[in-house]
Amino acid sequence: MGKVLEERVRDTEPLLAWEIPTLQNENETIDHLKLKRVLFTERLNTLTEELATLHSLAEAFDQTFGALTTEQQQNEQASYDDYLEAAWDLETKAKTVQERLREKVAEINMRYECLVSIQQQREREREDERRMRDRPSGEATPVSTSSTFMQTVLPRLTLPKFSGKRQEWDMFWALFKTNIDEQPISSMMKYNYLLQALTGQASSRKIPTH
């Protein structure tokens, strides 16, 4: 029982060691993330289906055992206990792998959305520059107004979120540092981005200022 699920769990465990690479080409990174997202999502769906099958088998076994006579149950009690213990151990291991797969998919989605959002923002900036270049020379160029506006309105970027859980911090800060902190924007805009990124317990705590 559960041999298929057991093999699936064993084959999946090496995948969990994979970390998002930092490639020189942003488009290559996005394409790489797309492929990994498909792989991890398919494996997650398969694992979920096989866990459901394990549940069905365990329920059927339990019902069959319950239909035995008292004497038969006494004779088969040891086998019954071994069966349920093995099923429980396998389910626990499979659910652990399942949860880690979900975390990987969420991690991939977060990085993918951030990269795509940054590309979209750059494209909007290039489009603004093209419109400025194409503006008739007789028209006033509202450089100062545009500059002031950009300092007060945040670019529409998809932010990583941090709820205060320690296990989320390393991934959150790596994304925030790359996508926000290292961008050529003012410290106040970075601070506002950080406030927007905090959720749950993290949002209720004060951020120290210097």
User: pLDDT tens digit string along 53-109?
Assistant: 998 988 998 999 999 999 999 999 999 999 889 999 999 999 999 999 999 999 999
Q: Mean pLDDT across the stretch 177-185? A: 75
Residue 78: what pLDDT? 93
pTM, two decimal places: 0.60
pLDDT digits (tens, 9 = 90+) for 134-146: 877 655 555 444 4
pLDDT at 175 over 60: yes
Distance CA 157, CA 27 (A): 17
pLDDT at 148 over 50: no
Residue 156: what pLDDT? 53
Q: Where do the structural domains in the chain lie, given as residue ranges?
A: 1-133, 157-209
- DSSP labels, the chain: --HHHHHHHHHHGGGGG------SSHHHHHHHHHHHHHHHHHHHHHHHHHHHHHHHHHHHHHHHHHTS-HHHHHHHHHHHHHHHHHHHHHHHHHHHHHHHHHHHHHHHHHHHHHHHHHHHHHHHHHHHHHHHHHS-TTS---HHHHHHHHHHS--------B-S-HHHHHHHHHHHIIIIITSS--HHHHHHHHHHHB-HHHHTSPPP--
Report the mean per-residue pLDDT for the chain: 81
